[in-house]
Structure 1
Amino acid sequence: MSLDNPLTVLYKEVDGSKITTDLYLPSTTSASPQKYPVVIDIHGGAFMLGHSRMVSLPQVNDCLERGWIVLVPNHRLCPGVNLLEGPMQDIRDLLSWVHDGHLDAVLKEQGAYCADLENVAVFGTSSGGTLALGLGWNVPKPAKAILSLYGAVHFTDPLWTKPLPHVAAKLPPNLSKSFLDKIYDQKPVPTDSSVSLEGQTESGVSKGPDFSKPRDAFAFTQIASGTVLSAIYPESASSDPEFKKVDPVQNVSASFPPTYIVHGQADTMVPIELSRELLKRLQDSGVQCGMTEVPNEEHTFAAMMKVGSETWWLQRQGFDFLEGIIGKGPQ
């Protein structure tokens, strides 16, 4: 097992969708089982794109060096399911899968590893940050600590219905509704796509979306037109949209887990003001929290940052925060 070849495990199956998680293990020389903190790492992609191999491997490696077991899950992609019943429920079911002993059953076959179920944390980028925050409420046992890297939050802000001309400029002309709507014909609901907002593809080569594919064209059309929320959560398309069930900002309370935020100051996809509002809610509720604002960085910078750069060290403050809550694994 390596960064390039993790163990892939099925954690959920629903309506024909087989939903897996990749498992990365820290190195060990122990002959007897020891407990390791568990960290869940959730990919981005506007809830419509991406898959588990589209995460920052340097971030995964940083976690492994801290002695953490790392789970990188897939989830069903919108719009074949809505945000609440699809991606959010899948990630919550993964957390239950861990606490119900299924991870330990897998670890028994991998040598001297046990999951420290008192120290399960989560982080994610972009939409993955939102799903990470979703493990802070309405779950039997919330994550011990949460790190959101430029996660989508504060869905009642008018910014969410604002068109993005710089994204629209990338779209080909004359994309028909019938072509875009082919995305609804995908059965079972897929758990992976060949491109993510982070810019990676399955081959690891960085390139843009393929607009000959309905999913890529649909997702970027929604982003460009400011209609992502109505596409992934149709319940919000009414004249009085209700986001309470899915918006982390509206679910912060005094019992919310310790939470850290990392966000680029030059983000044009999820403006930093949205994360600042989340931080304010956390602070007002007395939740242990913090935020690092990364100068000059756009959305999805985690995929492109170089280890050792200023951005690398700044975003690493979020992982130091997690370590302060869940500790290191056996060294």
Structure 2
Amino acid sequence: MKTIFLMICLTWAGQLSIAQEFKKVSYPEGFTEQLNLVYTSVNGWEGKLDLYLPPSQKKGSPLVINIHGGGWNKGVKESQTGFSAFFNRGYAVANIEYRLTGTATAPAAVEDTRCALIHLIRNAKKFHIDVNRIVIMGSSAGGHLALMGGLLENNPIFDSNCPGLKNIKVAAIIDKFGITDVWDWAYGPYKTSASATSWLGDKAKDHEFIKSVSPLYQVKKNSPPTFIVHGDADPIVPYQESVALKAKYDELGVKCEFMTVKGGLHGKFSKEDDEELTRRIMAFLDSISL
């Protein structure tokens, strides 16, 4: 019996190991990779990013910063591999991790996103990055963090772990079905998310704090151009969250494109919709000369 039990345990361990293996990022010849670069350290936790760089150019490369989703409570940067469209256009890619709920509650993930952005701006010359052509992108909780990272601009409210940089900006934000109003996601009429209240921790009923970590309340007249995509049948993050964000952009006259995926679930789009999404994102970036 002990032998059988041991064999079962080893089988489970093997399955778990396989489950944690992710496809390696594929990039064109001439690109280089720098994996697990530390961009911040907080109470013994090290924030790391993977950086993929095109061949050096006289003019710095455009950069896309990618942020994984997972309700702020799960997910790893290694799960993100689909960067071919950016590589083919000569973009550098920074794929970042951040503190999850089990390590630290809100606003930790926002703080880490800001520190990653600030680190890359500070080291732009070293990495041959054009600071005027930085795009920040994410899906689901990563979409929320991309919006927060880009919309805060020079507001240092969540920059205490990486202070001192004065000119913080991105050229564009790409938000894929991200959370835009955390209070609404936690307590709203369409969804009551335990991920939201867990992430908020002891701030779960602090309305003003929740507004401070909600992208909907960070949009200004001079906010970066933003591309939004959301499936209108999303069962996880309500489609109405993106509708409200688009309305705020329109109210303030900020450039914003909103792609609705008919029948789209939470990022589970058809191959045709994924191809159309890529085409429209690239056309959007072209429209702002990136």
Q: Does 1:280 align with 2:243?
A: no
- Say if 1:47 and 1:83, in contact at 8 Å, map to a contact too: no
Closer, same or farther: CA 133–326 of 1 in aligned 2, 3 Å: farther
Structure with more relative contact order (C-alpha pairs < 8 Å, separation 6 or more): 1
Paired position in structure 1 for 2:284? 321
The one-letter code matched in structure 1 to 2:73 is M
In 2, distance between residues paired with 1:6 and 1:50?
A: 21
Q: Mark the CA change 1:82 to 1:227 in structure 2 (over 3 Å): closer, same or farther.
A: same
Q: 1:49 aligns with which of 50, 54, 74?
A: 74
| Residue 126 in structure 1 maps to residue 143 in structure 2 | no
- Residue 231 and residue 326 in structure 1: after superposition, are their counterparts in 2 closer, same or farther (change >3 A)? farther
Letter in 2 for 1:89: E
* Residue type at the aligned position of 2:84: N
Q: Distance in 2 between matches of 1:155 and 1:2?
A: 32
Q: Is residue 236 of structure 2 the alignment partner of residue 261 of structure 1?
A: no
> Could you tell me which amino acid in structure 1 is paired with residue 285 of structure 2?
L
Instruction: Quote the Cα distance in structure 1 between the aligned partners of 2:77 and 2:205.
Output: 33
Q: 1:292 to 1:245 in 2, by over 3 A?
A: same
Q: Secondary structure of the equivalent of 1:301?
A: coil
Taking a change above 3 Å as real, the CA distance of residues 162 and 258 of structure 1, as seen in their structure-2 partners, is: closer
Q: Tell me how far apart the structure 2 counterparts of residues 226 and 67 of structure 1 sit (CA, whole Å).
A: 39
2:111 — aligned with what? 89
* Matching residue's letter, 1:20: K
Alignment partner for residue 187 of structure 2, among 140, 161, 173?
161
**Could you tell me how far 1:163 is from its partner in structure 2?**
9.9
Q: 1:39 & 1:95 partners in 2: Cα distance?
A: 10
Q: Which residue of 2 aligns with 1:216?
A: none
Q: Residue deviations 1:108-154, cap 9 Å, x none?
A: xxxxxx11111111110100001100121125412111010000112
* CA positional deviation for 1:96: 0.8
Matched, 1:295 2:262: yes
- 2:26 matched to 1:12? no
SS at match of 1:75: coil
Match for residue 18 of structure 2?
Answer: none
Secondary structure of 2:174 counterpart: strand
Matched residue type, 1:22: D
Amino acid at match of 1:310: D
1:117 equivalent in alignment to 2:110: no
- 2:100 corresponding residue in structure 1: 77
Counterpart of 1:24 (choices 48, 52, 57) is 52
AA aligned opposite 1:73: I
Give % identity.
27
Q: Is the 8 A contact 1:229 1:236 kept in 2?
A: no
Higher deviation after alignment, 229-238 or 260-269: 229-238
Distance 1:163 1:258, change over 3 A: closer
Q: C-alpha displacement at 1:259, in angstroms?
A: 0.9
Runs of 4 or more, structure 1, over 4 Å off, are: none
1:172 maps to: none
For normalisation by structure 2, the TM-score amounts to 0.78
Structure 1 residue 240 displacement after superposition = 4.8
Contact 1:42 1:123 in 2 (8 A): yes
| One-letter code aligned to 1:50 | G
Distance 1:258 1:163, change over 3 A: closer
Query: Is the CA contact (8 Å cut-off) linking 2:72 and 2:195 kept in structure 1?
Result: no
CA deviation after TM superposition for structure 1 residue 293, in Å: 0.3
Secondary structure at the aligned position of 2:210 is classed as coil
Once the two structures are superposed, what CA deviation does each residue of 1:71-90 show, in whole Å capped at 9, x if it has no partner? 00011111431221x11111
Residues 316, 125 of structure 1: alpha-carbon distance in 2 compared, 3 angstrom cutoff: farther
